[in-house]
A and B are shown apart, each in its own frame.
Chain A
Amino acid sequence: MSWINLDAIWKIVVFGLLAGAGLPALFSLGLLALSQGPKTANAGPDSDVVVGGNPAGLAAAVVAFLIVLAAVGWAIYEVYQIGHPAAK
């Protein structure tokens, strides 16, 4: 048996970056899309208004947030499958 499992390490790094950095990046793209529109444009620099009111932006944000939620749900399902072999 080897000391370091390089195969597992590169997978943890690559999938870790995809899930751990990629999903929050997708979430922030959703936030950015959500913030497009007149409501944020007219608000001052100290405003904490997130929803800009642009319909296309809103639609893009919903798509981004749904993908993030679906990925999280799929991850939880995978963990359950691995943890309960009899449930397969």
Chain B
Amino acid sequence: MACLPEQPGPVGKDLILVLVVVTALGFDFTNGFHDTGNAMATSIATKALSPRVAVGLSGILNLVGAFLSLSVAATIASGLVDTHIVTLTVVFAGLAGGITWNLLTWLLGIPSSSSHALIGGVIGSTLAAAGGHAVLWHNLVAKVIIPAGLSPIIAALVAATGTWLLYRISRSMTAGARGHGFRIGQIGSASMVSLAHGTNDAQKTMGVITLALIVNGTVPSNATAPFWVVLSCALAISLGTYLGGWRVIRTLGKGLVEIEAPQGMAAESASAAVILLSSSFGYSLSTTHVATGSIIGTGLGKRGAEVRWNVAGRMATAWLFTLPSAAVVGAGGEALAHVIGGTAGVIVDLVILVALATFIYIRSRATKVDHNNVNDEWTGSVAPAEPEHAAAA
């Protein structure tokens, strides 16, 4: 390893490019399973769709959504850091930061923003590589932090208004008929959120891979995402969505608010509308922040519904930590790769990342949440009580 030069040669550079692309697709995959709940948690909680059908439908619609629009691809990373300073190693370390945060929050069942994890990771690794002047701070605040604060509030307002209207209009119907009707409506509204998620989130990874190709000189700097990038990102996010982040689904569907079908439809419609409208204005905001805001909104819009503010507070705390935490991991990855140098540095980072992912996966098996127990009674934690305990209680 000592014979490797500090700057990797052509072969080493291509190897790093391959590793970056594979890691980016890995991030896209975690993005998918972390966010299944944004679209499907409320439909699963109200039993509008069975858990397995829900994740299957969401996976397919994410795939379609990824092809639907390509407008924000390549803006996510290039608008926030100076691309002339960014190297492949920086992109790689940033992705490692994003993946690490996504896996940790998934283990804890916290629906945190995959977009913020990615942005935080890239900013951290850029800071470590080139210092503060390489980060476009104004864009970070104006395009990421302020929208992150506003989007859940707007989503909550829309969802609360929708919830109030739906209960008001349908109050003369029997509870059974109302539940039946709105469960059918929920299939449509949840599908729209899945489509919006594919459109919005798959593009972020397409942007990162395109950035890596530009940095490597494989494509010109004004290039749009090549077709194989679009296709592989669409497949990665779709597969991740299909596997279903049951832990996050459970927190969103059962932990935050006890949801009935009209609330589910109101929350999903609000999420889909806000995500699609914001994307069309060029704001690539976090689908997680919007979905969580919508679900809280449905709790506020229905008289007598309880919002578990302690769960909401825990989430909001995680949101505040997302950018800096992913940034610290991204910076650490970049620093380590720099100290070791060249291709070997990236490989060491990758080995640590894979080991960490394996450890988190094994830990998650101890308190398993899957399609069988995702809807169990909320007892204050992500992992439902064991069946014996539930029977004894």
Chain A residues within 8 Å of B, Cβ to Cβ: 1-5, 8-9, 11-13, 15-17, 19-21, 23-25, 27-29, 31-32, 34-35, 40, 43, 45-50, 72, 75-76, 78-80, 82-85
Contacts and interface: CB of A to CB of B under 8 A. Distances in A.
A2 B142 contact: yes
B273 A79 contact: no
27 contacts: A2-B142, A11-B277, A12-B281, A13-B158, A15-B277, A16-B270, A16-B274, A17-B157, A17-B158, A20-B159, A20-B271, A20-B272, A21-B158, A24-B162, A25-B165, A25-B166, A25-B169, A28-B170, A31-B173, A34-B181, A46-B174, A48-B174, A48-B177, A49-B176, A50-B180, A72-B188, A79-B276
B62 to A, nearest CB: 14
Taking chain A's interface residues, is the majority helix, strand, or loop, or is none over half, making it mixed? helix
Dominant secondary structure of chain B at its interface with chain A: helix
Given A21-B161, A24-B162, A82-B69, A15 B177 contact: no
A79 B180 contact: no
A4 B180 CA distance: 42
B162 to A, nearest CB: 4
Contacts, number: 145
Interface string B184-212: 01001100100100010000000000000
B367 interface: no
Contacts of B150: 9
A88 B377 CA distance: 50
Contacts of B199: 79, 83
Contacts of A24: 162, 165-166, 185, 189, 265-266, 269
B319 interface: no
B281 A48 contact: no
Interface in B217-255: none
A81 B289 CA distance: 26
Contact of A84 (B69, B142, B165, B270): B69
B68 A80 contact: yes
A15 B157 CA distance: 12
